[in-house]
Structure 1
Amino acid sequence: DVDLLKGIRHLLYDQGYTIKGVQRLLRENGAQFIIALGSGDTAAAEAISQQKQAAVREEEAHSAEQERADAAEEAAIMGSPKSSSHGRRLFGLIKGDDDGPVAADGKRLSKDNRTLLQETLFDLLECKRLLDQVR
């Protein structure tokens, strides 16, 4: 399209954009934006830019909402951590609430966090065992 080429020429020669800069503008805002800039219609270019930004924000909001829904579904499938009633003890992770490992901030880990850490460690050890079997 001749108008698009005029817009690209305007940005390169009159506005001092690099080729990569024009490519980025074209990719982010589309051909109509470049055409509007080339024809001097800054109002149209601004409107196109705002529409693109609104579309991006809407897509980000939708993506965040989908991630929250996926996390909720995963939590429903996975369930909560198992209690420590199975009696397994490893490296002192399961002790009384006043004992046990200390977090980076100097506070004691809660019983639920210690249980979760212990279960994760057992899962990792089981993965290692399975990997060792196939080697």
Structure 2
Amino acid sequence: MEKSPDAFRTISEAAEELDVPQHVLRFWETRFSQIKPMKRAGGRRYYRPADVELLKGIRSLLYREGYTIRGVQKILKEDGASYVAGVGRGEIEPRKREGEMASAPPPGMSKPAPRVKGAKGEAAPAAEAPAQPLLPLGEVRVVVNRLSENHADMLRAALRDLGDARRILDPSQGR
């Protein structure tokens, strides 16, 4: 027998509807203050239909759109829970991520990094890779391996910014 759309859902029913494990819902409660299921004796959770809609929006932003938890928290703060719930219902097209990394693929959608070859051409184990010392200030060594030119440019800009920050924060380096 199927429940009415207005009926409350247990955590197992909500998790099944959202296709996420129950522990994920409990974790999201710790990260998103807007998720407030009713709790009965023994701590049993009951999710209102509005809670489930909000959870669907959070799931969509995290898993489909590639936002981080912090990014979804920012959206909830700026646009509110009704916006996120609208995303979950498919009524609202979520805004695209801002910033330089907006062109990067969402988490889990990028290709794995190429394996590093050892001195004799065999794959070097990650645990045995020697630690690289910091480069002297002002020296920039750029090694680009199978990156798009756009991503390589973003990395170069980030390295310049880090060098500038290092000069500002470390008084012994001088200006």
TM-score by length of 2: 0.28
Between structure 1 and structure 2, the one with the greater Rg is 1
Scaled by the length of structure 1, what TM-score is found?
0.34
